[in-house]
Amino acid sequence: MKTLVIGVAILGSSLFNTSLAKGTLDINKELKKVVRFDNNQLTLEKNETEFVKVSFKVNYQGEIEILGMNYSDEKVKSQLLKKLSNMKIKKSHNSEKVYNYNFTFKKL
């Protein structure tokens, strides 16, 4: 039987507000494109849940700048950081906006 790893981004603070002062970036869409893990890519046991809480900005070059993190597993955090560091935002965005996300990962 195949195992499935699910990554869920739980939105924090004011992320539901879609109007930005300096841009039209939908960070949720951008994250969904990049934060994906294939079977067995994450080292989780079945029904085990891990989390990574991250606070970040998107700088002028469109790269993610991590401001702070809290996590339950070092390997999961490292793999998420690798995904986030590969992101390149090309759409207009507010480089002063701080995003707060709680990523929850569970193997089913």
Q: Check pLDDT > 50 for residue 12.
A: no
Tens digits of per-residue pLDDT, 84-105? 998 998 888 888 999 999 999 8
- Residues, the chain: 108
pLDDT for position 105: 87
Number of domains in the chain: 1
DSSP per residue, 35-91: ----TTTS---BT-EEEEEEEEEE-TTS-EEEEEEEES-HHHHHHHHHHHHT----S
Where in the sequence is the domain holding 35, given as residue range(s)? 5-107
Query: Greater confidence, 6 or 100?
Result: 100
Write the pLDDT tens digit of every residue in 14-66: 343 433 344 567 888 888 888 887 766 777 778 888 999 999 999 999 999 99
pLDDT score for 48:
85
Query: For residue 33, what pLDDT is reported?
Result: 85
Per-residue confidence (pLDDT) for residue 5, from 0 to 100 = 53
Distance separating alpha carbons of residues 92 and 97, to the nearest angstrom? 12
